[in-house]
Amino acid sequence: MRTLRTIAEMRAALGDARPGLVPTMGAFHEGHLSLIRAARADNDVVVVSLFVNPSQFGPGEDLARYPRDEARDAHLAEAEGVDYLFAPAAEEIYPSGFQTWVEVEQLSQPLEGALRPGHFRGVATVCLKLFNIVRPRRAYFGQKDAQQAAVIKQMVRDLDLDLELRVLPTVRDQDGLALSSRNAYLSPEERTAASALPRALATKDPERALALLDGLDVDYVEVADFDPRVLAAAVRVGRTRLIDNVVLEEGAPT
Ligand code: PAF
Protein backbone atom coordinates (compact mmCIF):
# COMPACT_ATOMS: atom_id res chain seq x y z
CA MET A 1 0.00 0.00 0.00
CA ARG A 2 1.21 3.51 -0.79
CA THR A 3 0.28 6.54 1.28
CA LEU A 4 -0.17 9.59 -0.94
CA ARG A 5 -0.46 13.19 0.26
CA THR A 6 -1.09 15.27 -2.83
CA ILE A 7 -3.74 15.41 -5.52
CA ALA A 8 -1.05 15.23 -8.21
CA GLU A 9 0.44 12.05 -6.69
CA MET A 10 -3.01 10.47 -6.39
CA ARG A 11 -3.88 11.22 -10.03
CA ALA A 12 -0.51 10.04 -11.29
CA ALA A 13 -0.77 6.78 -9.33
CA LEU A 14 -4.25 6.00 -10.66
CA GLY A 15 -3.75 6.89 -14.31
CA ASP A 16 -6.92 5.72 -16.08
CA ALA A 17 -7.99 3.31 -13.31
CA ARG A 18 -11.50 3.78 -11.88
CA PRO A 19 -11.10 2.45 -8.32
CA GLY A 20 -13.40 1.79 -5.39
CA LEU A 21 -13.20 4.68 -2.91
CA VAL A 22 -13.88 4.53 0.82
CA PRO A 23 -13.94 8.11 2.15
CA THR A 24 -13.07 8.22 5.87
CA MET A 25 -11.89 10.49 8.64
CA GLY A 26 -9.75 7.69 10.08
CA ALA A 27 -9.79 6.11 13.57
CA PHE A 28 -10.81 2.88 11.86
CA HIS A 29 -13.20 0.41 13.47
CA GLU A 30 -15.02 -2.63 12.10
CA GLY A 31 -17.56 -0.33 10.40
CA HIS A 32 -14.80 1.19 8.26
CA LEU A 33 -13.25 -2.23 7.69
CA SER A 34 -16.58 -3.61 6.42
CA LEU A 35 -16.66 -0.81 3.81
CA ILE A 36 -13.03 -1.47 2.87
CA ARG A 37 -13.70 -5.23 2.53
CA ALA A 38 -16.68 -4.56 0.26
CA ALA A 39 -14.58 -2.19 -1.85
CA ARG A 40 -11.80 -4.79 -2.03
CA ALA A 41 -14.27 -7.46 -3.19
CA ASP A 42 -15.85 -5.24 -5.87
CA ASN A 43 -12.89 -3.38 -7.39
CA ASP A 44 -9.47 -4.03 -8.94
CA VAL A 45 -8.03 -0.95 -7.24
CA VAL A 46 -9.06 0.38 -3.81
CA VAL A 47 -8.42 3.87 -2.46
CA VAL A 48 -9.18 4.83 1.14
CA SER A 49 -9.12 8.53 1.90
CA LEU A 50 -8.15 9.62 5.39
CA PHE A 51 -8.97 13.26 5.97
CA VAL A 52 -10.47 14.87 9.07
CA ASN A 53 -12.43 17.43 7.12
CA PRO A 54 -12.42 20.75 9.00
CA SER A 55 -15.30 22.22 7.00
CA GLN A 56 -17.84 19.73 8.38
CA PHE A 57 -17.15 20.66 12.02
CA GLY A 58 -18.87 23.67 13.53
CA PRO A 59 -17.35 26.06 16.06
CA GLY A 60 -17.16 24.35 19.45
CA GLU A 61 -17.39 20.84 17.92
CA ASP A 62 -14.73 18.14 18.35
CA LEU A 63 -12.37 18.88 15.40
CA ALA A 64 -9.34 19.32 17.67
CA ARG A 65 -9.95 16.22 19.77
CA TYR A 66 -11.24 13.97 16.95
CA PRO A 67 -9.24 10.71 17.30
CA ARG A 68 -6.25 10.53 14.95
CA ASP A 69 -3.84 7.62 14.56
CA GLU A 70 -2.62 7.47 10.99
CA ALA A 71 -0.01 4.78 11.65
CA ARG A 72 -2.64 2.40 13.08
CA ASP A 73 -5.09 3.20 10.26
CA ALA A 74 -2.41 2.63 7.63
CA HIS A 75 -1.54 -0.72 9.18
CA LEU A 76 -5.21 -1.82 9.19
CA ALA A 77 -5.79 -0.59 5.63
CA GLU A 78 -2.72 -2.41 4.38
CA ALA A 79 -3.86 -5.62 6.08
CA GLU A 80 -7.18 -5.33 4.20
CA GLY A 81 -5.35 -5.09 0.87
CA VAL A 82 -5.94 -1.39 0.20
CA ASP A 83 -3.83 -0.09 -2.70
CA TYR A 84 -3.65 3.62 -1.85
CA LEU A 85 -4.25 5.59 1.32
CA PHE A 86 -4.93 9.20 0.34
CA ALA A 87 -4.07 11.32 3.38
CA PRO A 88 -3.79 14.95 2.32
CA ALA A 89 -3.11 17.96 4.53
CA ALA A 90 -5.96 20.45 4.99
CA GLU A 91 -4.19 22.98 2.71
CA GLU A 92 -4.12 20.45 -0.13
CA ILE A 93 -7.92 20.19 -0.07
CA TYR A 94 -8.68 23.79 0.93
CA PRO A 95 -5.88 25.93 -0.51
CA SER A 96 -5.80 29.58 0.37
CA GLY A 97 -8.58 31.42 -1.47
CA PHE A 98 -10.91 28.39 -1.58
CA GLN A 99 -14.50 29.61 -1.98
CA THR A 100 -16.68 27.05 -3.78
CA TRP A 101 -19.18 24.97 -1.81
CA VAL A 102 -21.82 22.34 -2.55
CA GLU A 103 -25.23 22.79 -0.91
CA VAL A 104 -27.76 19.96 -1.09
CA GLU A 105 -30.54 22.25 -0.03
CA GLN A 106 -33.54 20.39 1.37
CA LEU A 107 -32.02 17.14 2.59
CA SER A 108 -29.41 19.11 4.54
CA GLN A 109 -31.99 21.06 6.55
CA PRO A 110 -33.54 18.73 9.16
CA LEU A 111 -32.06 16.57 11.95
CA GLU A 112 -28.24 16.83 11.86
CA GLY A 113 -28.44 19.81 9.51
CA ALA A 114 -30.63 21.76 11.93
CA LEU A 115 -28.29 21.07 14.85
CA ARG A 116 -25.02 21.34 12.94
CA PRO A 117 -25.43 24.23 10.48
CA GLY A 118 -23.01 23.92 7.57
CA HIS A 119 -22.17 20.29 8.36
CA PHE A 120 -23.57 18.81 5.17
CA ARG A 121 -22.15 21.63 3.07
CA GLY A 122 -18.73 20.53 4.33
CA VAL A 123 -19.49 16.84 3.78
CA ALA A 124 -20.89 17.31 0.26
CA THR A 125 -18.02 19.59 -0.77
CA VAL A 126 -15.26 17.30 0.44
CA CYS A 127 -16.95 14.24 -1.08
CA LEU A 128 -17.30 15.97 -4.45
CA LYS A 129 -13.64 16.97 -4.27
CA LEU A 130 -12.62 13.39 -3.42
CA PHE A 131 -14.77 12.07 -6.26
CA ASN A 132 -13.07 14.51 -8.67
CA ILE A 133 -9.60 13.63 -7.43
CA VAL A 134 -10.00 9.84 -7.34
CA ARG A 135 -12.66 9.40 -10.07
CA PRO A 136 -14.03 6.25 -8.40
CA ARG A 137 -16.30 3.81 -10.18
CA ARG A 138 -17.88 3.04 -6.79
CA ALA A 139 -17.87 4.82 -3.42
CA TYR A 140 -18.75 3.25 -0.08
CA PHE A 141 -20.63 4.80 2.86
CA GLY A 142 -22.20 3.47 6.06
CA GLN A 143 -25.93 3.44 6.74
CA LYS A 144 -25.11 4.65 10.27
CA ASP A 145 -24.84 8.18 8.83
CA ALA A 146 -28.20 7.87 7.08
CA GLN A 147 -28.64 11.56 6.37
CA GLN A 148 -25.10 11.85 5.03
CA ALA A 149 -25.77 8.92 2.67
CA ALA A 150 -29.02 10.58 1.53
CA VAL A 151 -27.26 13.91 0.93
CA ILE A 152 -24.46 12.28 -1.09
CA LYS A 153 -26.96 10.22 -3.12
CA GLN A 154 -28.84 13.40 -3.98
CA MET A 155 -25.63 15.20 -4.96
CA VAL A 156 -24.59 12.31 -7.20
CA ARG A 157 -27.99 12.40 -8.88
CA ASP A 158 -28.27 16.19 -9.18
CA LEU A 159 -24.74 16.73 -10.50
CA ASP A 160 -24.75 13.66 -12.83
CA LEU A 161 -21.69 12.18 -11.16
CA ASP A 162 -20.51 9.07 -12.91
CA LEU A 163 -20.17 6.68 -9.97
CA GLU A 164 -22.16 4.12 -8.05
CA LEU A 165 -22.81 4.63 -4.34
CA ARG A 166 -22.90 1.61 -2.08
CA VAL A 167 -24.40 2.09 1.38
CA LEU A 168 -23.59 -0.74 3.77
CA PRO A 169 -25.31 -1.82 6.99
CA THR A 170 -24.34 -0.35 10.35
CA VAL A 171 -21.89 -2.49 12.31
CA ARG A 172 -22.72 -2.81 16.02
CA ASP A 173 -20.89 -3.86 19.17
CA GLN A 174 -22.23 -6.65 21.35
CA ASP A 175 -24.23 -4.18 23.45
CA GLY A 176 -25.89 -2.91 20.24
CA LEU A 177 -24.04 0.41 20.14
CA ALA A 178 -23.30 1.39 16.54
CA LEU A 179 -19.55 1.54 15.94
CA SER A 180 -18.34 5.12 15.74
CA SER A 181 -14.95 6.76 16.13
CA ARG A 182 -16.61 8.97 18.76
CA ASN A 183 -17.38 5.96 21.01
CA ALA A 184 -13.73 6.29 22.09
CA TYR A 185 -14.73 9.40 24.07
CA LEU A 186 -17.16 7.46 26.32
CA SER A 187 -16.28 6.49 29.90
CA PRO A 188 -17.49 2.99 30.99
CA GLU A 189 -20.51 4.58 32.76
CA GLU A 190 -21.33 6.69 29.71
CA ARG A 191 -21.03 3.66 27.49
CA THR A 192 -23.63 1.82 29.60
CA ALA A 193 -25.95 4.84 29.40
CA ALA A 194 -25.37 5.10 25.62
CA SER A 195 -26.50 1.51 25.05
CA ALA A 196 -30.08 2.75 25.59
CA LEU A 197 -29.86 4.34 22.13
CA PRO A 198 -29.88 1.15 20.01
CA ARG A 199 -32.48 -0.41 22.35
CA ALA A 200 -34.72 2.61 21.86
CA LEU A 201 -34.32 2.59 18.08
CA ALA A 202 -35.02 -1.13 17.92
CA THR A 203 -38.64 -0.36 18.90
CA LYS A 204 -38.97 1.37 15.47
CA ASP A 205 -41.47 3.66 17.20
CA PRO A 206 -40.58 7.30 18.00
CA GLU A 207 -42.72 7.53 21.16
CA ARG A 208 -41.54 4.28 22.67
CA ALA A 209 -37.98 5.16 21.71
CA LEU A 210 -38.20 8.53 23.45
CA ALA A 211 -39.52 6.85 26.60
CA LEU A 212 -36.54 4.46 26.60
CA LEU A 213 -34.15 7.41 26.25
CA ASP A 214 -35.48 8.96 29.45
CA GLY A 215 -32.53 10.42 31.40
CA LEU A 216 -30.38 11.03 28.30
CA ASP A 217 -30.02 14.40 26.64
CA VAL A 218 -31.99 13.80 23.42
CA ASP A 219 -31.48 16.09 20.40
CA TYR A 220 -34.11 14.29 18.31
CA VAL A 221 -35.88 10.99 17.70
CA GLU A 222 -37.67 11.21 14.38
CA VAL A 223 -38.80 9.22 11.40
CA ALA A 224 -36.88 10.54 8.40
CA ASP A 225 -38.09 10.07 4.87
CA PHE A 226 -34.73 9.18 3.41
CA ASP A 227 -34.26 6.33 0.97
CA PRO A 228 -34.65 4.01 2.88
CA ARG A 229 -36.95 5.50 5.57
CA VAL A 230 -35.36 5.41 9.00
CA LEU A 231 -36.06 6.13 12.63
CA ALA A 232 -33.09 8.38 13.47
CA ALA A 233 -31.89 9.71 16.80
CA ALA A 234 -29.14 11.85 18.27
CA VAL A 235 -28.28 11.95 21.97
CA ARG A 236 -25.62 13.55 24.10
CA VAL A 237 -23.91 11.40 26.70
CA GLY A 238 -21.61 13.59 28.75
CA ARG A 239 -19.60 15.60 26.20
CA THR A 240 -20.16 13.05 23.44
CA ARG A 241 -22.83 13.33 20.79
CA LEU A 242 -23.97 10.05 19.25
CA ILE A 243 -26.20 9.45 16.23
CA ASP A 244 -27.82 6.23 15.11
CA ASN A 245 -30.79 5.02 13.08
CA VAL A 246 -32.77 1.94 12.23
CA VAL A 247 -34.17 1.22 8.79
CA LEU A 248 -37.96 1.00 8.71
CA GLU A 249 -38.23 -0.82 5.39
CA GLU A 250 -37.74 -4.53 4.93
CA GLY A 251 -34.88 -5.61 2.71
CA ALA A 252 -32.87 -2.35 2.94
CA PRO A 253 -29.41 -2.13 4.52
CA THR A 254 -29.82 -1.95 8.31
O1 PAF B 1 -18.44 9.81 7.35
C2 PAF B 1 -17.32 10.37 7.37
O3 PAF B 1 -16.35 9.85 7.91
C4 PAF B 1 -17.16 11.74 6.73
O5 PAF B 1 -18.31 12.50 6.89
C6 PAF B 1 -16.73 11.68 5.26
C7 PAF B 1 -17.78 10.98 4.40
C8 PAF B 1 -15.42 10.92 5.13
C9 PAF B 1 -16.52 13.09 4.70
O10 PAF B 1 -15.55 13.78 5.42
Domains of the chain in start order, with CATH, are 2-168 (3.40.50.620), 181-246 (3.30.1300.10)
Q: What is the pLDDT of residue 163?
A: 98
CA of 27 to the centre of ligand 1 (A): 12
Look at residues 143, 151, 123 and name the one whose alpha carbon lies nearest to residue 53. 123
**Residue 240: beta bridge partners?**
237
Distance CA 112, CA 146 (A): 10
Atom of ligand 1 nearest to the CA of 145: 1
Sheet holding 230-237, edge to edge: 217-224, 230-237, 240-247
Residues of the chain with pLDDT > 70, as a percent, come to 98
Atom of ligand 1 nearest to the CA of 56: 10
CA angle 168-169-172, nearest 5°? 135
Residue 32 falls in the annotated catalytic set: yes
Q: Whose CA is nearest to atom 5 of ligand 1?
A: 123
Distances, alpha carbon 23 to alpha carbons 36, 101, 190, 194, in Å: 10, 18, 29, 26
Instruction: Look over the chain and give the mean of its residue pLDDT values, rounded to a whole number.
Output: 97
pLDDT class for 252, splitting at 50, 70, 90?
low
| Ligand 1 pocket residue status of 53, Cβ below 6 Å | yes
pLDDT tens profile 71-87 = 999 999 999 999 999 99
CA of 211 to the centre of ligand 1 (A): 31
Confirm if 93 and 25 have CB atoms less than 8 A apart.
no
CA of 208 to the centre of ligand 1 (A): 30
Q: What is the pLDDT of residue 253?
A: 64
Q: What is the pTM of this model?
A: 0.97
Q: What is the pLDDT of residue 250?
A: 74
